[in-house]
């Protein structure tokens, strides 16, 4: 009986850890971005469902919904279509999650480095 309980405990622990690992992108991530001499806090809210991710990026232009969001291991990629100067502009994000840190690039006409932290919100 003791072995059965131990086996069930190990299985349950493995399932809980596995579920958490699969959901590592979910949360609120923040970093500061500089644009035109102005600093702005960028807030990225993600919700992971398997290898898909949805959410919003709030920054210089307000809230933008993410598109084509994907998770592959520690890598998160998505696009955001925003408007700037009367024309649409697509920004492609390529990020890597390591614990409570997120790093990567946001690319439009130019490329910007990203380094942020998971918020406790």
Q: What share of the chain in percent tops pLDDT 70?
A: 80
What's the pLDDT score for residue 111? 76
Name beta bridge partners: 117: 30, 101
- Distance from C-alpha of 70 to C-alpha of 60, rounded to nearest angstrom: 24
Domain assignments of the chain as residue spans, ordered by start: 2-118
Tell me which residue of 59, 72, 51, 71 sits closest to 108, measured CA to CA.
59
What's the pLDDT score for residue 16? 44
Fold type of domain 2-118: Lipocalin (2.40.128)
CA end-to-end span of the chain, whole Å?
43
- Distance from C-alpha of 1 to C-alpha of 19, rounded to nearest angstrom: 27
| 15 pLDDT above the threshold of 60 | no
Q: What is the pLDDT of residues 43-84, one digit of tens each?
A: 999 999 999 999 999 976 778 999 999 999 999 999 999 877
Mapping DSSP to helix (H, G, I), strand (E, B) and coil, where does residue 63 land? strand
1 pLDDT band, cuts 50/70/90, is: low
Q: How far is CA 37 from the centre of its chain?
A: 26
- Distance from C-alpha of 31 to C-alpha of 52, rounded to nearest angstrom: 22
Mean pLDDT of 39-43: 91
Residue whose tokens read 């942020």 = 116
Residue whose tokens read 């232009």 = 61
What's the pLDDT score for residue 3? 54
């Amino acid at each position: 009986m003791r072995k059965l309980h131990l086996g069930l405990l190990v299985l349950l622990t493995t399932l809980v850890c596995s579920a958490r690992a699969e959901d590592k992108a979910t949360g609120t991530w923040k970093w500061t971005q500089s644009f035109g001499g102005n600093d702005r806090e960028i807030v990225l809210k993600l919700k992971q469902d398997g290898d898909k991710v949805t959410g919003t990026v709030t920054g210089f232009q307000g809230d933008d919904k993410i598109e084509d969001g994907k998770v592959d291991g520690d890598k998160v990629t998505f696009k955001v279509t925003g408007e700037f100067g009367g024309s649409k502009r697509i920004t492609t994000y390529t990020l890597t999650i390591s614990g409570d840190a997120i790093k990567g690039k946001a690319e439009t006409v130019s490329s910007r480095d990203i380094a942020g932290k998971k918020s406790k919100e």
